[in-house]
Structure 1
Amino acid sequence: MPPQMSSAQKAMRLFAVLVAGCERLATPGADGETAIFKGETRLHALMFWLRNPDYLAWELLELHAATGDAALVARVRAMLAAEEPILRRDAMPKWRFGAYDPIDTEMAMLTSRRLVRTVHRPAGPKSAENSFLLFPAAFRFEGAVAGNIAYQWYADRMRVVMQVAGERFGSDLKKTQYEHIEYAKTPGHGLIPPITRRVEERLRGIEEGS
């Protein structure tokens, strides 16, 4: 298990997710925002793959099955060789309809620096959820921390997460995660368990069949 993270470290991780998953605006918004991350459901779904390398590795193998891209298998092999499912895993609890961890403290830190602001926006005819506005200071800050080793790991890994997630909505990403019985059967407030053994078995089957 990774060591306990400070609020500042968690804020840095959250920032990496927001920057990787946001949409740049063609022109600044009414409050000066230059990008938006749409949907807190999507945020937690992306965060789950960032914090659980074994589930991300499974999705990379799914992508390999669809595309035949051998680089995806190599990526999974490297993740397992580095023991990422143990050393990089930061388990998320199950809450209502999927993986969820409160982000209020970390978001307050980012908001206080005028990097990000939460807004409540419609998510459908009868629902709404939080989205997040990103301001020019956020991208200046991204450039300033580009040399930070810890942040760079998150930024690099989020490129892999976004390769898996694509343009899908948060509800679609949650459905994908629910396809794992371990995830689906986790009781409320329980930590979602690893699937490392199944990933290892699937990788071995691919390598033996190649």
Structure 2
Amino acid sequence: MANFEQVAKGRTTSIYQDAVRLLLLIDAAAEPVPDPRPTEAPPDAVAVLRSQVLLQKLDFWLRNPDYLADELISRFERDGSADDLDLARQILESDEPEVRSYQMLRYLFGAYEPLDEALSVLRTPGLVVRRKRGSAGHTSRHDYYLTTSGRAAAQKIVDTAPDLSYYVERSILVADLAAGRRGSALRDIQYLQPEYADAGLGTHIAGIAERARKRLREASAITDSGGQQ
């Protein structure tokens, strides 16, 4: 199997770009800290994203607009929301899948990217705090707590960095598409794509832009003919 750290050295984004993307994604998808407050929650935590699996699967959709659009088409077919089809059309009728895609590696549990370096950029100033769950010598889950400073930093990006509006908007869309489901549920959805399921361990997961565009044309034709309300 390929060494994941070595493959990841071919990244096309910087550690700081990854950190900003992850901060916006955690801010959009994290749930409010529950009441009663867990003992492991930092005093200044305002929200929590539970599990690295969930973070990785959300990040996969954020980094792969073609897969994101394809899932929007699937939700349109289930729920009939024209907004979903319009969003998929905006993505697929542009060059977004070609210029905004950053492929991830296929690992034992689906799409994977080493996150420690990017998360360390967020943890050092206390924007995100990671808590490990499990027993001694066995970590069963990582939880990511967004602090008041982290939420303020994310809001500052929204207010003062219009060039990052793409990631702000897409993070919100990805969180909405996930609909509060666990990481394992998103993984199962993503495994339905043959390019994802059939990727060799340690290799990058191939894109599906052309197949997604074909689905978009078919869904649009059905809608135009009055077959979908």
Normalising by structure 2, report the TM-score: 0.84
The verdict on how the C-alpha distance between 1:39 and 1:150 changes in structure 2, with shifts beyond 3 A counting, is farther
2:71 matched residue in structure 1? 59
Give the stretch that moved more between structures: 98-107 or 28-37. Answer: 28-37
Among 109, 118, 137, the alignment partner of 1:97 is 109
Give the stretch that moved more between structures: 21-30 or 32-41. Answer: 21-30
The alpha-carbon deviation at position 127 of structure 1 amounts to 6.9
Return the alpha-carbon distance in structure 2 between the equivalents of residues 197 and 161 of structure 1.
21
The reply on whether 1:188 has 2:201 as its aligned counterpart is yes
Q: How far does the alpha carbon of each residue in 1:91-126 deviate from its partner, in whole angstroms, 9 at most, with x for none?
A: 001111100000111111111111111111249xx9
2:180 matched residue in structure 1? 167
- State the Cα RMSD in Å: 1.9
Return the alpha-carbon distance in structure 2 between the equivalents of residues 81 and 208 of structure 1.
15
The reply on whether 1:70 has 2:82 as its aligned counterpart is yes
- Find the residue that maps to 1:154 and give its secondary structure: helix
**Aligned-partner residue type, residue 22 of structure 1:** A
Among 200, 204, 207, the alignment partner of 2:220 is 207
Question: For this pair of structures, how many residues does the alignment match?
Answer: 206
Give the stretch that moved more between structures: 101-110 or 126-135. Answer: 126-135
Q: How far does the alpha carbon of each residue in 1:49-90 deviate from its partner, in whole angstroms, 9 at most, with x for none?
A: 000011111110011011111121111111112211101100
Q: Is the 8 A contact 1:24 1:36 kept in 2?
A: yes
**Aligned-partner residue type, residue 202 of structure 1:** R
Once superposed, which parts of structure 1, at least 4 consecutive aligned residues long, lie more than 3 Å away? 26-31
Return the alpha-carbon distance in structure 2 between the equivalents of residues 59 and 127 of structure 1.
31
Q: How far does the alpha carbon of each residue in 1:114-144 deviate from its partner, in whole angstroms, 9 at most, with x for none?
A: 1111111249xx9711111111111111222
1:81 matched residue in structure 2? 93
% same residue: 29
The verdict on how the C-alpha distance between 1:152 and 1:159 changes in structure 2, with shifts beyond 3 A counting, is same
Among 1, 20, 31, the alignment partner of 1:23 is 31
Unmatched segments (≥5 aa) in structure 2 = 1-10, 225-229
The alpha-carbon deviation at position 163 of structure 1 amounts to 2.0
The alpha-carbon deviation at position 194 of structure 1 amounts to 0.7
1:40 matched residue in structure 2? 52
The verdict on how the C-alpha distance between 1:38 and 1:26 changes in structure 2, with shifts beyond 3 A counting, is closer
